[in-house]
Amino acid sequence: MQRNATTLYPILLVHGLFGFERIGPFELFHDVKQALKAVGVQVFVPHLSAIHDNEVRGKQLLGQIDSVLRGTGASKVNLIGHSQGALAARYAAAVAPQRVASVTSVSGPNHGSELADFLRKALIPGRLPESVAQNVATLFSDFLCLLGGTTALPKNALAALNALTTVGVGDFNDKYPQALPESWGAQGAERVNGVRYYSWSGVVPEMNLQTLDPVQGICRALSQYFITEPGQNDGFVGRYSSHLGTVIRSDYPFDHLRSLRRASTEPAGAADSIQLYVEHALRLQAANL
């Protein structure tokens, strides 16, 4: 029986690119939300644009934070952002630190995504060999199809993609540098302007015939397009690119989507990605957050 992990402030789970309350067979944050509720945490999932740039989504998040504060009477919130959701959370904390107790980045592209770089180049004729451009675009399309999404490019897709490239996130970081490491692969400041910062992420594990998870298979295929962090990425985000604030760990053996869900079958000894959120709630509780 798990101990009570009630935090002082509510937790908001902030989704990333293409995130919805539910995508096809996946209800994003379902396992995380249920696990946190089971240990007494007050938890909310804000609804942001599924496809837009970091600042637009961050401004939307600020509005959702205000709604939670009014509804609960709390003075602050704890933000846990998955993938691009980490950048929205960072924006909110930088602009309104008085409303944010902590920011936790889970598989967040805090220094950009090499996959986004490849996808962006694939849209420019001649920037990549045709076979490479076609392959990376097809793999990403297959990933969206597995999630039940659409392969049609929405109107704001280019803005979202630009915002996730290393150049786009670099521009974002110039404006909102809070808790970024001063050197590659290091940890960042634990606290900035009264806000605590944490991060964790994973790397795609070796093929496991016990699982045969199609999402993991695509993430493994996409991971080959990483040059700076080959073999040290989750298929979407590089291990060291994810570092922010106190780095809890950045090489958990799971792919980008497995950092917020359990696979249908888990091999013996596999890391429980959902339990990490419960452990983090206890961490926040111990820090009086």
Neighbours of 88 (CB within 10 A): 32
Contact 200, 249 (CB under 8 A): yes
Q: Which of 23, 16, 164 is nearest to 81 (CA)?
A: 16
Calpha distance 237→81 (Å, rounded)? 14
- DSSP H helices in the chain: 30-38, 54-72, 85-95, 114-122, 130-146, 157-164, 166-175, 214-222, 275-286
Is residue 83 among the annotated active site residues?
A: yes
Annotated active-site residue in 234, 243, 255, 280: 234
How far apart CA 208 and CA 196 sit, in angstroms, is 36
- Whether residue 120 contacts residue 162, with contact meaning beta carbons closer than 8 Å, is answered with yes
Partnered with residue 12 across adjacent β-strands are 44, 79
Instruction: List the catalytic residue out of 52, 82, 243, 256.
Output: 256
- Residue whose entry in the numeric block shows the structure tokens 């789970």: 13
For strands 246-252 and 100-106, give the pairing: unpaired
243 is catalytic: no
Chain length of the chain: 289
Query: Per the residue annotation, which of 83, 113, 199, 241 is the catalytic one?
Result: 83
First to last CA, the chain: 23
Told to judge if 53 belongs to the known catalytic residues of this protein, a careful annotator would answer no
Say if CB 65 and CB 74 are below 8 A apart. no
Catalytic residues: 83, 234, 256
